[in-house]
Each structure stands twice: as C-alpha cells, then as structure tokens.
Amino acid sequence: MTGLSLPTPPPPTDPPMDALLANTADSPPPSPSDSGPASPASSLHDDVELESGVASEAALSSVTDSFYEGTEKLLEIWFHDAHTPDHSKTPVVDQLGQLTPAAVSGKPADLRAIPRPMLDELLGHVNATIISRISTPDTDAYVLSESSMFVSARCLILKTCGSTTLIKAIQPLLQFVHKYTCFTGVEDLFYSRKDFLRPELQDELHRCFDREVKYLDNDLGFQGSAYCLGRVNDQCWYLYCLGQRRHRGPPGNQPAEDDQSLEVMMEQLDPAVMEIFTRRCCSTAQEATAKAAIDSIIPGLKMDDFLFDPCGYSMNGLLPSGHYVTIHVTPQSAFSYVSFETNVPASRHLTYLDILQRVLHVFKPGKFLFTLYSSKKALASLMQLQLDEYATFEGYKKMDVQVYSLRNYLLSYLSYVQDIT
C-alpha cells in the first residue's frame, strides 16, 4: 500500500499551500442546517452531550416545501505513525533521513486529541455544526446539523448532506493532525457519494465528480483512483480511494480480518413512514425512533437520536469495539431520502441480508441501492460472491449488480426498484 506523509506546515511563501489556506480561511462560518434547527428536547438520552444555543436559531418557515439534498458526501480517512506495523511502503522520514518532528514529539497516536474548538473550526469549512455527542472507549460520535462525524484513534469519518463542502475539510484536518498527534501520514482515504438530485445547487467544487477528483488529485496531491458504479444516465455511486488497505479494521482498534462497511441509500419513501420524522407526528426523537422501530434493526446500540424542527431525523449508534450505525432521514415527499450505514460485522446469526430486510421493512423505499465493502477474509465477502443469486427482496426488482475486486477487498454495488407488475 502507498502511504502519504503528513505535510509539515510550509512557510508563508509557499504558493500552493498559500492558495489552499486562503480558500479555507475565506470559508463561511458554520451555519444551521438547511432543514431547520432542532430543539435540544429532541435528544432523550442522559449520556448525550447537547450543545447549548442550538434551539435559539430561527426555524425556516418553508422548510417542508423548500428543496433539500438528502444525499450525503462521505469521507473516511485513516492515519499512521512511525510505529504502525506494516502501514506503508513509504518510510516515515524526512528528506534528511530523520524521523519527522511529529513522530518523536511524544504526541498521542489518537485523533481524539484534537481539541474541540479545532473540530468546530474543521466543520466550519464544511458549513456544518455539532449538535450532540456520545462516546465509548473506542469512538466519539457526533450528530451534526448536516449528518454525522465519528472520531476514533486512527480514523475520522465525516458524512454530510445538503450543500456542504465536505472535501474542504481535508486540508485543515491534515494540519490539525500534524499539530496535535504523532501521526505522520495518511494510510488511506475514501470519498464517496451517490449522484445528487439537484447538483446545480451544490458548491461548484461538488457539482460533478470529475471536479472533486481533480481537487483531491491536483490540489491535495493524493493521486488516488476514481470509480463510478451504476448507470451514468440514472442513479449511480461514485468512489475515490487511495488504493490498497492492508489493515483498516474497526475505528479505534488494531487490524481486523472482519473489515466491512454496508451503506444503504433509499429514495421515494413511504409517505406514512416519513410522516413519523416530522414534529407534526412526533414531539421527540425517542418517540420517532420507537414509532418507526429503528431500534429493531440492530439492537443494543448506545444511541444518540435527534428530531429536527419542523422535520428531519439523525441517529448515531455505537457498539463495543468501534462499531457504529448511523441513519439520516430527509422526509419531504417531493425529495425523500434515507441513508443507513454500519460497519457492524456480519455473522451467521445476523447477516447483511437480514439487516437489509429490516431496513427495507422500516423505511419502505420506492427504490434503493446498497454498497458493501469487505476484506476478502471477512464473512461478508462470502456473501458478496453470491449476492447476484441471493440478494432478492420481496416487492423489489433488481436493476444492477456490480462486483469489484480491489486488492484485498471486494466492493459490491446493487440497485433495486419497486416491482409494480
């Protein structure tokens, strides 16, 4: 695997970095969600840390009629230090053959050492704010004004919807990692998203995947690989990655063979189900969670759920060993959208087909696609080899199946529509 060294902050006269810093410095401050702010009463778990002042923002009066892009952009970035075993073929040394200052500074090998004000500043470049947080020994999970963020020892996952500028977070993140941790390089990076319903409403950087790839390759220097799965004249899913992942594992843990990630993206959802995620139907997030039976999909989660005002819903759930579940709902009927994502390992008692059946039962989409990414030694990979045969769901017609072999990992993409025949 090819690793990337973290950049030492350059002198002010360095033109390329000056340009990047100028862009991020001019980014607008964090703003409330386009879907309207939420009330702190939306969260009903005693161990959830809520941010003060969230309820003081004025709600958008026409939110139920105004378009909102529920489709998320997803960034997952892993870091290594000088002591990470077998992390990269790239030595963690500078041009003089010495260990980089970060590697010998005594700083922690933990992204959670980045101070909270720096996380707020990071999200300011994205145009998102923190609403609440829950934690386990492995992971900090944040509900945002636009989706979620997960921070563990070596991995940061940032998922944002609306017109956020997600990949503008990468350059300041690298600076904070260099300043506050001993990490010396990027071990791997993944950026993915479904096609947008209204790409013209996105920031210019995110209006087309080609532009995003050029920014990641040319402006940030990652030189990764870009893929498009699905139909270019219909729904599709884009992926940008650095390449081989030798030992990603669950966030906050050592390398694991059962490395996997399942993401389900749903559209044209049942209006009766979507009504649950409005303040007309439910007054609290806990009420919406129970009424929709979300807690039945993967039981036993430490949960942080949030019901936006007047509509919209987010939920982060944590399990031991760095495993997570996250769900986001944009309920407006004209552009309804729901996403479900987890890295919980598949087992013989709970397969990914079981999880998918439960997700479909809860949300009842008119069409959906899912992606499954797993190490070839994981149980989920055995399922991937048989997806075309076994991934059938009552009431749905399979449209596309694509399976990619990416070195040590398998990637599957499947799309479905309701069968009205």
Domain shared by 166 and 112, yes or no: yes
In this prediction, residue 4 carries a pLDDT of 55
Q: For residue range 319-339, what is the model confidence (pLDDT) as tens digits?
A: 998 999 999 999 999 999 999
Domain shared by 304 and 207, yes or no: no
Angle CA 329–330–332, to nearest 5: 135
For residue 218, give Cα distances in angstroms to 25, 74, 224.
Answer: 20, 20, 10
Q: Name the catalytic one among 35, 72, 145, 206.
A: 72
Mean pLDDT for all residues in the chain: 80
Decide which of 157 and 378 is more confident: 157
Q: Name the catalytic one among 39, 42, 147, 374.
A: 147
Domain shared by 344 and 408, yes or no: yes
Largest CA distance in the chain: 69
Least confident of 66-75, 91-100, 134-143, 274-283: 91-100
Is 314 designated active site? yes
Confidence band of 63 (pLDDT split at 50, 70, 90): very low
- Determine contact, residues 109/153, Cβ cutoff 8 Å: yes
Of the candidates 206, 221, 255, which is a domain's last residue? 255
Confidence band of 83 (pLDDT split at 50, 70, 90): low
- Determine contact, residues 367/395, Cβ cutoff 8 Å: no
Residue that the structure tokens 């059938």 belong to: 392
Confidence band of 84 (pLDDT split at 50, 70, 90): low
Is 389 designated active site? no
Domain shared by 127 and 241, yes or no: yes
Q: Could you tell me the residue range of the domain that residue 143 belongs to? A: 14-32+69-255
For residue 113, give Cα distances in angstroms to 137, 142, 153, 181, 284.
Answer: 13, 15, 9, 7, 33
User: Can you tell me the mean pLDDT for 359-383?
Assistant: 83
Domain shared by 140 and 228, yes or no: yes
Is 328 designated active site? yes
In this prediction, residue 379 carries a pLDDT of 56
- Determine contact, residues 151/161, Cβ cutoff 8 Å: no
On whether the pTM is more than 0.85, the answer is: no
| Residue 37 pLDDT exceeds 80 | no
Q: Is the dihedral of CA 337, 334, 35, 120 positive or negative?
A: positive
User: Can you tell me the mean pLDDT for 57-68?
Assistant: 54
Q: For residue range 227-253, what is the model confidence (pLDDT) as tens digits?
A: 999 999 999 999 999 865 444 444 444
Of the candidates 255, 277, 297, which is a domain's last residue? 255
In this prediction, residue 313 carries a pLDDT of 98
Q: Which of 330, 270, 325 is nearest to 297 (CA)?
A: 325
Confidence band of 386 (pLDDT split at 50, 70, 90): low
Q: Which tokens go with 168? A: 């503008």
Is 147 designated active site? yes
Query: Per residue, what are the HEC states of the chain?
Result: CCCEECCCCCCCCCHHHHHHHHHHHCCCCCCCCCCCCECHHHCCCCCCEECCCHHHCCCCCCCCCCCCCCCCEEEEEEEECCCCCCCCCCCCECCCCCECHHHHCCCCCCHHHCCHHHHHHHHHHHCCCEEEEEECCCEEEEEECCEEEEEECCEEEEEECCCCCHHHHHHHHHHHHHHHCCCCEEEEEEEEEECCCCHHHCCHHHCCHHHHHHHHHHHCCCCCEEEEEECCCCCEEEEEECCCCCCCCCCCCCCCCCCEEEEEEEEEECHHHHHCCECCCCCCHHHHHHHHCHHHCCCCCEEEEEEECCECEEEEEEEHHHEEEEEEEECCHHHCEEEEEECCCCCCCCCHHHHHHHHHHHHCEEEEEEEEEEECCCHHHHHHCCHHHHCCCCCEEEEEEEEEEECCEEEEEEEEEECCC
Q: Which tokens go with 230? A: 């699905």
| Residue 96 pLDDT exceeds 50 | no
| Residue 402 pLDDT exceeds 70 | yes
Is the residue at 2 inside a domain?
A: no
Domain shared by 189 and 325, yes or no: no
**Close Cβ partners of 189 (under 8 Å, ≥ 6 residues apart):** 75, 76, 77, 78, 170, 222, 224, 240, 241, 242
Is the residue at 6 inside a domain?
A: no
Domain shared by 274 and 295, yes or no: yes
Is the residue at 55 inside a domain?
A: no
Q: For residue range 13-36, what is the model confidence (pLDDT) as tens digits?
A: 333 333 333 333 333 333 333 333
Is the residue at 354 inside a domain?
A: yes
Is the residue at 48 inside a domain?
A: no
Is the residue at 41 inside a domain?
A: no
User: Can you tell me the mean pLDDT for 392-405?
Assistant: 92
Q: For residue range 272-316, what is the model confidence (pLDDT) as tens digits?
A: 999 999 999 999 999 999 999 999 999 999 999 999 999 999 999
Confidence band of 5 (pLDDT split at 50, 70, 90): low
Is the residue at 90 inside a domain?
A: yes
Domain shared by 263 and 215, yes or no: no
Which backbone phi and psi does 399 adopt, to 5 degrees? Answer: -105, -45
Is 263 designated active site? no
Q: Name the catalytic one among 5, 33, 42, 69.
A: 69
Q: Name the catalytic one among 314, 321, 412, 415.
A: 314
Q: For residue range 179-228, what is the model confidence (pLDDT) as tens digits?
A: 999 999 998 899 999 999 999 999 999 999 999 999 999 999 998 999 99
Domain shared by 351 and 230, yes or no: no
Q: Which of 332, 334, 328 is nearest to 288 (CA)?
A: 328
User: Can you tell me the mean pLDDT for 77-95?
Assistant: 54
Domain shared by 303 and 410, yes or no: yes
Q: Name the catalytic one among 76, 87, 161, 323.
A: 161
Tell me the angle at which helices 116-126 and 170-180 cross, rounded to the nearest 10 degrees: 170
Least confident of 76-90, 220-234, 340-354: 76-90
In this prediction, residue 196 carries a pLDDT of 97
Is the residue at 39 inside a domain?
A: no
How large a percentage of the chain has pLDDT more than 70? Answer: 72
CATH at 76: 3.60.90.10
Domain shared by 110 and 22, yes or no: yes
Least confident of 58-67, 88-97, 159-168, 358-367: 88-97
Q: Name the catalytic one among 328, 336, 412, 415.
A: 328
Domain shared by 271 and 326, yes or no: yes
Is 323 designated active site? no
* Number of domains making up the chain: 2
